[in-house]
Structure 1
């Protein structure tokens, strides 16, 4: 009987995590997105804050870019945002079958509306992408890179599918302070996030496979931390900790509180990293 590797067990855990919890994330979020709101320049309401990460990705599209890959697409909101505004073909992949079913329903509902682009979705692991994916102009990952195991495989696959000169955009949490901070383990375990790396570590892994880091932009100040909901979750930590190991939702709430603590303490930053695939790399 074949043995299950640590990475395989992790990926199965991420799949269960999103299959079981996506509907809960959607209840507590808005605009069918399960990533953080970003209150950037000119943002005046929650809808704009949710879509600000999508707008940042849109701004990275070149005038002739057509093939786009969403690495960890959730329920398809970012892909649909891009396709509604540019004549692109977006492929969204998620390891969660539940998320892909939801993304396909959202895409079907949006099909009758205006929009020059097209979308399709597939259940896939972004550390082992389908072999037929190639020639991608822009790949992006919004709050999904931290789930990669190993991170090197994420960069390897992104480099493989990107055309020479193509762009990879990662918007996620990065390590900026004490790597031994005790709350980091709560975040990693609660959110199934083994790849919490420093910018330098990410750049080193990417460079090995021909991806050059060309921009690192700090978005941390655009977050709204310690909201009333966050304070309630913090107060509930003793009870939530009793449920750890038995409830994935309790694990997630403990991890979310740890994430807040790490940002407030300067251990984590929320950054946009932009990589370009070198033309001189095999």
Structure 2
């Protein structure tokens, strides 16, 4: 059965269907139950450390007195659980995918002792429940690009954070306004709605009362062209013929396009930190 969204399934509906159908496949091909890429930062020597390096970057943004954390696009809860194992914080994870939230709750039940607490809810981060307020830190790992529309994402996060609270986004950003087929393939294959430049993201966030205070290029920490990436590259003719009938084929075409965009310098992988201004 095809899992590609129909033309009417734009925005959140398409993203929900995409992750409901394919999260289990991503888990089979990934590591440490994480749905984001590995980062081979300083001192990282194993794949497990590379997966969790992003989580460590988020942990480093937590203040000593911070107690409430919001995981925007939480996947199957891996980042939320990682944080709660290491800090006495309450983490709320939201995902637009009911299938992901079911898995996140299952993994939380089996996680063992935590220093903090976690809970997960099905929610669209461009329209968050009203009760999600007063957070010290919110983070979005490879989920912001799905925001549709991006201004609503920043508006909702600003409402969820306390004054002085921080938002950390780890995701791909454009480096150019030049139209390129590789960027189109990436966006189509990965259901990307908000692929912005840093300046565009900063301007939209400022409109919601969030000030960009840090922007770090993590691109050199990626490992492009791994053996499985080369296999996917070789299979592109077959995968392209299957596009429109298989969301998995779409994703593989999009993933190859992502690699080519990074190699060409069309995209960067960045950590952006925003602070909510005082009312």
TM over 0.5: yes
Matching residue of 2:231: 232
TM superposition shift of 1:262: 0.2
Q: Map 1:57-206; keep pairs closer than 5 Å.
A: 57-110=58-111, 113-206=112-205
User: Relative to structure 1, is the Cα distance of residues 7 and 86 closer, same or farther in structure 2, using a 3 angstrom cutoff?
Assistant: farther
Matching residue of 1:33: 34
TM superposition shift of 1:194: 1.4
Matching residue of 2:274: 275
Cα deviation code 1:89-129 (max 9, x no counterpart):
0000000000000000000001xx23210000000000000
* TM-score normalised by length of structure 2: 0.96
Q: Which whole-Å CA distance do the structure 2 matches of 1:233 and 1:10 have between them?
A: 27
Matching residue of 2:11: 10
Unmatched 5+ stretches in structure 1: 1-5
Q: Which whole-Å CA distance do the structure 1 matches of 2:116 and 2:56 have between them?
A: 15
Q: Which whole-Å CA distance do the structure 2 matches of 1:30 and 1:232 have between them?
A: 18
* TM-score normalised by length of structure 1: 0.95
TM superposition shift of 1:7: 9.6
Contact kept, 8 Å, 1:83 with 1:116, in 2: the verdict is yes
Contact kept, 8 Å, 1:178 with 1:267, in 2: the verdict is no
SS of the residue aligned with 1:84? helix
Cα RMSD (Å) = 1.1
Contact kept, 8 Å, 1:124 with 1:130, in 2: the verdict is yes
TM superposition shift of 1:178: 4.7
TM superposition shift of 1:20: 0.6
Unmatched 5+ stretches in structure 2: 1-6
Query: Runs (4+) of structure 1 moved beyond 3 Å?
Result: none
SS of the residue aligned with 1:226? coil
